[in-house]
Amino acid sequence: MIKIVLASHGRMAMGVYDTLQMFCADLKHVTYICGYVDDTPIESQIEQYFAKIPKEDEVLVFTDLLGGSVN
């Protein structure tokens, strides 16, 4: 299965996810990671997400800034 991750600085990824909800009925395969909004390091958030993904699944990751710290 293909999964999609939206990752950003701040809450931009959550905003994109909310916008997608207006156009797509089923977003079970989409998740978002908002970096630097609390004391949780972005690396920990990413590691926790990928620890739950089966090895046979593919993941597309969309980020807000090419070469930025979220990447």
Contact 62, 6 (CB under 8 A): yes
What was the pLDDT predicted at 70? 76
Contact 4, 29 (CB under 8 A): yes
Residue type, 25: A
Give pLDDT tens digits along the chain (71 positions): 999 999 999 999 999 999 999 999 899 999 999 999 999 999 999 999 999 999 999 999 999 887 777 77
Spatial CA neighbour of 71 closest among 51, 52, 46, 37: 46
Helices (H) and strands (E) in the chain, counts: 2, 3
**Residues whose CB falls within 8 Å of the CB of residue 49, separated by 6 or more in sequence, listed in order:** 5, 31, 33
